Chain A
Amino acid sequence: MANIKTLEKKTKAQSMGLHTEVLTGKTQQKFFNPDEAENFFYWGTHDVDFNKRTELDVKDMDCKEANKKIDILMSEGYGTIVIKNPQGKHSLGVGILNKLNLIFEGSLGYFGVGSIDGPIVRVNGRVGWSCAENMMAGKVVIEKNAGSCFGAAIRGGDLICKGSVGARTGIDQKGGSIIVGGDAGAFTGFMMQRGRIVILGDVGINLGDSMYDGTIYVGGKIGSFGSDAVEAPMTKNDIEWLTRKLKVAEIGNNFNISKMTKIVSGKKLWNYDALEPTEKKGAI
C-alpha cells in the first residue's frame, strides 16, 4: 500500500511539472531519538504570544539596532509587532526563526525579511531588491511593488507581491511559492530548482532560463522563453492548486486560471543527458 501511495504522489507531482528525484541513501536517513529531544533546539528562537502586541518606531534606528530591538521584543513574548517608519531601510526583519506576526507600516529597502523561518509578515508598502532571500517557511505579503531578485533562493513558504516585481524573481528558488499580482521582469525563475512561481501579469524576456525543475505559471504575455524552458499542459491539479493558492495570497479574484501558461524545465541541458561527466569528456 505504501508503494502505491508513493506512486500516486509521484504521478501527481509529475503532472504538475515537478520531476523531483527520489532521494535515497544513508545520508538521507534521519536519526532522531526522542530521549534526546532536549538536545535538539533551534538557536535564536522565542516562544511568543500572538495576542501580545506592540509597536516599534525605527525612524531613528539603523537596521542593526532595529533588528536587535525586534529580537528583544520577541524574547519578551511579543507575538505581534508593528514596525513604524521603516522608510526604505535595508535588511529589516531578517533572521526571524519563530512564529511571529510582523507588520511594516511603510516600505523596506534591500534584503528585507531575509532568511526567515516561520513568521507571517505584511509590508504595507514596497520592498527593494532581494526581499525574503533564503526564506524557509512562513508567509510574506507585500502590498505594493517589489524590486529585483524577489524571493531569491527561497526554500519554502509563501511569498506574495500584490504589485509588480523586478528582474530575476525566484532566481535559484529551491522550494515554496512566489505569487505576483502584477508584472515581472526579465529572467524570472532563472536557474530555479524547485517550487512554484505564479505571475498574473506579463513577464519579460528569458523566462525560466536554465531552470532545473519547478513550475512557473504566467497569466499575461511572455517576453521570451529562456534556455531550456518549455511550455507544458495545464492539468486539473494545477488549476486546483492555483485556485487554492491565489485565495491564500488574497489576489486574483475572478482570474481565469485555465488560460494561464505553464512553464517547466525541458531537461535538455548538458547535465540532464544520459552521459556521465567522464563519458561526456570521452565523447568530446
Chain B
Amino acid sequence: MCGIAGLIHRGKSSNVGEELKNMLQALKHRGPDSTGYALYANNGGQNFIFRFKVGENVGEGSTSVNEDESVYNERKKIVDTKLSELGSTIIKEDKLTPYSYRYEIKIDKDLMEFSKSIESIENVEILSIGKSLELIKDLGDATTVSERYGLNKVQGTHGIGHARMATESGVDIKSAHPFWGYPFADVSVVHNGQLTNYWNNRRVLENKGMRFMSECDSELIAVFLAERMRNGATLEEGMRESLTGLDGVFTYFVATKDSLGMAKDTMAAKPLVLYESDDLVAMGSEEIAIRSILPQEIDTYDPFDGEVKVWQT
C-alpha cells in the first residue's frame, strides 16, 4: 500500500533529514521494502548535486541480479570519463555505497543532453540532479537508509519521502521512490496508489523524447509532470492536468527547489492527512507520521477528492 510523507518549513530551515526519517519510520508498516528521500538542502546553490547509481543493492530481499563490485567500479570510471567529455568539472565526490555516488559538479550542458549522455552507459542511472535536491533511495526502512547515507544532519527547507511496499515491480532501487523529474533540476515525486493507464501514457511520452528508467507506474507521474513543464506549464497546471491525464487511484507529492505540492485523485481512494500552519506544512498517509514530529494536539484534515495544493518555502 506504500506510505508517503512530506513537509515544508516556510521562511526557515530545519533538520529535514531527521524529521522526514521520523515521519517515514512511523509509516514503516505501510511499506517495508525500500525507503526514499528527496531532501531540499542548504547546499549554497553554486554547483549541481549529481547523484547516480552504478548498480543495485542485492541484499535485504532485493530482486536484483548480483554483480561483482569491480563491475560497479568500472562503470564509475566510465561516468568520470563521460563527465570530462561533457566538459563538467567534479568539485567533490563521495562514494556512499558500492553502488551509489554523490558528486558536486559544474554542468554547462543542457540537462536533457547531459542526462542522456550519462545514462547511455549501461546500468548507470541518475537518481537526481539539482542545486538543492538530495535524492536518496535504497532498500530497508527509513532508519536503515538514513543511517546508511548519513541523513540525520541534513538541514533544509523541505522534503518528501516514501516507504514502499512493492506491488507492481521489483524490490530494487530503480523502482523505489522518489523519482526525479528528469530532465528538470530539483524536481521529485512520490506516489501512493496504482496507475492504470501507465503503458498508454508511457508510449506517448517516450515518443515525445521522455525517458523511463523503471517499470514502476509511479515514475509516470514524474515524467508526465516534467513533459507538461517542458511545454511551458507551471507545476500547479501540470498537476491539475494529471487529475484527468492519469487514470487510477493516487495521492502524490511533488517538490521543486522552493515548493511542495500534493494531488489527490477524483475518487479520493488513497489516504492523506494534512497539517498546515503559517510556518510549517506536514502531511502523510497517516496521522501518526505527523505526530512523530508534532506530538502535541493539532488540527489536521483530509484533503478532498481532486484537490491540488502547492506551498512555497
B302 within 8 A of A: yes
- Min CB distance B290 to A, Å, is 7
Q: Of A90, A146, A186, which is in contact with the most chain B CB atoms at under 10 Å from its CB?
A: A186
Q: Interface range on chain B: under 10, 10 to 19, 20 to 34, or 35 or more?
A: 20 to 34
Q: Are A163 and B301 in contact (CB under 8 A)?
A: yes
**Chain A residues positioned under 8 Å from B295 (CB to CB):** 87
Given A147-B273, A187-B267, verify A88-B287 contact (CB < 8 Å): yes
**Chain B residues positioned under 8 Å from A126 (CB to CB):** 287, 299-301
Given A87-B288, A148-B271, verify A186-B266 contact (CB < 8 Å): yes
**Chain A residues positioned under 8 Å from B299 (CB to CB):** 126, 144-145
- Min CB distance B78 to A, Å, is 48
Contact for B286 among A128, A144, A167, A205, CB less than 8 A = A128
In the complex formed, the residue of B with least CB distance to A184 is: B304
Interface string of B276-313 (1 = CB under 8 A from A): 00000000001110110001010111101110000000
Q: Are B288 and A89 in contact (CB under 8 A)?
A: yes
Q: Are B291 and A128 in contact (CB under 8 A)?
A: no
Q: Are B297 and A186 in contact (CB under 8 A)?
A: no
Contact for B291 among A88, A148, A164, CB less than 8 A = A88
B268 within 8 A of A: yes
Contact for B267 among A125, A144, A186, CB less than 8 A = A186
Give Cα A141–Cα B215 distance, bound, in whole angstroms. Answer: 46
Q: Name the interface residues of B254-276: CB closer than 8 Å to any CB of A.
A: 266-269, 271, 273
Contact for A148 among B287, B300, B302, CB less than 8 A = B302
Q: Are A109 and B268 in contact (CB under 8 A)?
A: no
Q: Are B267 and A166 in contact (CB under 8 A)?
A: no
A185 within 8 A of B: yes
Give Cα A168–Cα B288 distance, bound, in whole angstroms. Answer: 22
Q: Are A147 and B302 in contact (CB under 8 A)?
A: yes
**Chain B residues positioned under 8 Å from A125 (CB to CB):** 297
**Chain A residues positioned under 8 Å from B304 (CB to CB):** 166-167, 183, 185-186, 204
Q: Of A105, A165, A205, which is in contact with the most chain B CB atoms at under 10 Å from its CB?
A: A205
A101 within 8 A of B: no
**Chain A residues positioned under 8 Å from B301 (CB to CB):** 126, 145, 163-164
Q: Are A185 and B268 in contact (CB under 8 A)?
A: yes
Interface string of A136-177 (1 = CB under 8 A from B): 000000001111100000000000000111111000000000
**Chain A residues positioned under 8 Å from B302 (CB to CB):** 145-148, 165-166, 185
Q: Interface range on chain A: under 10, 10 to 19, 20 to 34, or 35 or more?
A: 20 to 34
- Min CB distance B308 to A, Å, is 15
Given A166-B304, A183-B304, verify A88-B266 contact (CB < 8 Å): no
Give Cα A281–Cα B288 distance, bound, in whole angstroms. Answer: 51
Given A106-B297, A107-B300, verify A204-B288 contact (CB < 8 Å): no
Q: Are B300 and A205 in contact (CB under 8 A)?
A: no
In the complex formed, the residue of B with least CB distance to A59 is: B295
A212 within 8 A of B: no
Q: Are A166 and B287 in contact (CB under 8 A)?
A: no
In the complex formed, the residue of A with least CB distance to B301 is: A145
**Chain B residues positioned under 8 Å from A87 (CB to CB):** 288, 291, 295
Q: Of B286, B291, B304, which is in contact with the most chain A CB atoms at under 10 Å from its CB?
A: B304
Give Cα A146–Cα B299 distance, bound, in whole angstroms. Answer: 11
A78 within 8 A of B: no
Known contacts A88-B288, A148-B268; 15 further A-B pairs (Cβ under 8 A): A87-B288, A87-B291, A87-B295, A107-B287, A110-B286, A125-B297, A126-B300, A128-B287, A146-B302, A147-B273, A163-B301, A165-B302, A186-B268, A187-B267, A204-B305
Q: Which residues of A contact B (CB under 8 A)?
A: 87-90, 105-107, 109-110, 125-126, 128-129, 144-148, 163-168, 183, 185-187, 204-205
5 A-B pairs with least C-beta separation: A88-B287, A167-B268, A186-B305, A166-B302, A145-B301
